């Protein structure tokens, strides 16, 4: 008999497992949403998916869906993978090379769930059509492109109408245009299915575009779990900040004065918004590249009243296609600003030129040093 499950999240995970290189301890829950597990290699993200799928077993804790307990060390529950109603897509598709696309999708229905042949075949055709592969049903994996193979793998994971979908770096091996296309398809499918989706990624753009929330996993623990935008704007500590791509992290000390609060830093005193840190407390000031404005000579500055002005020299310019990274050396500290190609063209920036920057207070984030 299954233990009764009270109303709550559609997936609730609180597990620990001792591994060779770290002690994994992850806690999170989600509903019909997409949650990205984001973090460095070897931090335990893929292992977390495997434990939810039942491929690996936690040492302690519980894994519960809205309908069933998959694992509970205290109650002695550990459901077999085929009883968990979980769709799982591993890193490298894991398609059977000798089976056609249709046979790969039907395989878990026939062998795992014991569906009748006709019903399994109809479901597989439905999924192949959903992924635009109706005309490739009888092609084997070697006859399919990487994007088509990934679509077959996703179709197979969804074949048994799972309650939860787990994806391990699902688009990492694909070229950029195919990745973008599949992400868009995936968003539409998730909204249609309305089930929890947990996916592992090292790609910050992918996490931001697909996941409403993100769990940053470092050294086997969920260091921060929040809305993806919140984590990007307000990381809880320096390590999370660095991993989510914070470009400018400047050390400083908080100083309160009669007209406000600032941080004394190597590039000068920077005005900051309200903070709970005490006067004199050491802090790290995170300055997003888009929080820095490059000041054109003669530009009116009334809209920048709360900004801190600093001067430096252009050290480098890097064209990333959709944006231009402008690196400036200010009092020996390198700062990165971000511009559109159009704005950069208007400013006619050149390496070695002097530059004036406005650091916008509203977009700064202050964290305690050592956090």
Residues forming beta bridges with residue 222, ordered by sequence position: 217
Residue 3 banded pLDDT, cuts 50, 70, 90: very low
Question: Of the candidates 232, 251, 252, which has an alpha carbon nearest to the alpha carbon of residue 242?
Answer: 232
Higher confidence at residue 4 or residue 146?
146
Per-residue confidence (pLDDT) for residue 34, from 0 to 100:
94
294-297 contacts, C-beta under 8 A, 24 or more apart: 294/326, 294/337, 294/339, 294/343, 294/347, 294/349, 294/355, 294/356, 294/357, 294/358, 295/356, 295/357, 295/358, 296/346, 296/347
Cα–Cα distances in angstroms (integers) from residue 195 to residues 30, 32, 192, 336, in the given order: 10, 4, 9, 40
Q: What is the pLDDT of residues 45-89, one digit of tens each?
A: 999 999 999 999 999 999 999 889 999 999 999 999 988 999 999
Residue 129 banded pLDDT, cuts 50, 70, 90: very high
Per-residue confidence (pLDDT) for residue 302, from 0 to 100:
61
The set of residues, in sequence order, having a beta carbon less than 8 Å from that of 40 and lying 6+ positions away, is 202, 218, 243
Tell me the pLDDT of the chain averaged across its residues: 90
Residue 4 banded pLDDT, cuts 50, 70, 90: very low
Residues forming beta bridges with residue 16, ordered by sequence position: 25, 60
Q: Quick one: average pLDDT of 87-112? A: 91
d(CA 326, CA 196) in angstroms, rounded, equals 40
* pTM exceeds 0.75: yes
Residue with tokens 């994994």: 24
Beta strands across the sheet bearing 221-227: 77-78, 69-72, 60-65, 11-18, 23-30, 221-227, 213-218, 34-38, 197-201, 164-168, 86-89
Higher confidence at residue 177 or residue 268?
268
Contact yes or no for 141/97 (Cβ under 8 A):
yes
Per-residue confidence (pLDDT) for residue 114, from 0 to 100:
87
Q: Quick one: average pLDDT of 97-106? A: 96
pLDDT exceeds 80 at position 370: no
Q: Quick one: average pLDDT of 31-51? A: 94
pLDDT exceeds 50 at position 20: yes
- Three-state SS sequence of the chain: CCCCCCCCCCEEEEEEEECCCCEEEEEEEECCCEEEEECCCCCCHHHHHHHHHCCCCCCEEEEEECCCEEEECCCCEECCHHHCCEEEECCCCCCCCCCCHHHHHHHHHHHHCCCCHHHHHHHHHHHHHHCCCHHHCCCCHHHCCHHHHHHHHHHHHHCCCCCEEEEECCCCCCCHHHHHHHHHHHHHHHHHHCCCEEEEECCHHHHHHHCCEEEEEECCEEEEEEEHHHHHHCCCCHHHHHHCCCCEEEEEEEEEECCEEEEEECCEEEEECCCCCCCCCEEEEEECHHHEEECCCCCCCHHHCCCEEEEEEEEEEEECCCCEEEEEEECCEEEEEEECHHHHHHHCCCCCCEEEEEECHHHEEEEECCC
Residue 299 banded pLDDT, cuts 50, 70, 90: low
Domains of the chain: 11-239 (3.40.50.300), 247-368 (2.40.50.100)
Contact yes or no for 243/259 (Cβ under 8 A):
no
The set of residues, in sequence order, having a beta carbon less than 8 Å from that of 278 and lying 6+ positions away, is 254
Per-residue confidence (pLDDT) for residue 2, from 0 to 100:
45
Residue 301 banded pLDDT, cuts 50, 70, 90: low
Contact yes or no for 84/70 (Cβ under 8 A):
yes
Q: Quick one: average pLDDT of 99-114? A: 91
């Amino acid at each position: 008999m299954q233990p009764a499950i009270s109303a709550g999240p559609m997936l609730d995970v609180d597990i620990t497992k001792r591994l060779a290189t770290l002690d994994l301890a992850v806690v999170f829950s989600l509903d019909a949403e997409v949650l990205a597990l984001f973090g460095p290699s070897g931090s335990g993200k893929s292992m977390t998916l495997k434990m939810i799928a039942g491929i690996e077993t936690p040492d302690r804790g519980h894994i519960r869906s809205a309908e069933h307990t998959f694992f509970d060390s205290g109650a002695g529950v550990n459901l077999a993978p085929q009883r968990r109603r979980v769709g799982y897509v591993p890193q490298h598709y894991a398609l059977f090379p000798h089976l056609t696309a249709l046979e790969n999708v039907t395989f878990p229905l026939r062998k795992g769930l014991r569906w009748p042949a006709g019903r399994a075949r109809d479901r597989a055709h439905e999924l192949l059509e959903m992924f635009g592969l109706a005309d490739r049903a009888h092609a084997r994996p070697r006859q399919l492109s990487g994007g088509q193979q990934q679509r077959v793998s996703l179709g197979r994971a969804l074949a048994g109408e799972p309650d939860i979908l787990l994806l391990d770096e699902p688009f990492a091996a694909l070229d950029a245009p195919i990745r973008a296309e599949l992400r868009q398809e995936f968003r539409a499918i998730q909204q249609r299915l309305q089930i929890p989706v947990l996916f592992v990624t090292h790609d910050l753009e992918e996490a931001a575009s697909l996941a409403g929330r993100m769990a940053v996993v470092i050294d086997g623990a969920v260091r921060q779990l929040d809305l993806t935008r919140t984590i990007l704007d307000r990381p809880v500590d320096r390590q999370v900040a660095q991993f989510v791509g914070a470009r400018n992290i400047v050390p400083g000390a908080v100083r309160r004065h009669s007209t406000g609060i600032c941080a004394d830093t190597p590039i000068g005193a920077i005005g900051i918004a309200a903070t709970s840190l005490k006067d004199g407390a050491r802090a790290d000031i995170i300055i997003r590249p888009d929080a820095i404005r490059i000041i054109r000579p003669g530009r009116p500055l009334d809209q920048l009243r709360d900004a801190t002005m600093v001067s430096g020299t252009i050290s480098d310019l890097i064209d990333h296609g959709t944006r231009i990274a402008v690196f400036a050396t200010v009092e020996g500290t390198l700062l990165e600003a971000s511009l559109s190609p159009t704005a950069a063209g208007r400013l006619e920036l050149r390496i070695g030129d002097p530059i004036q920057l406005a650091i916008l207070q509203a977009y700064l984030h202050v964290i305690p040093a050592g956090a």
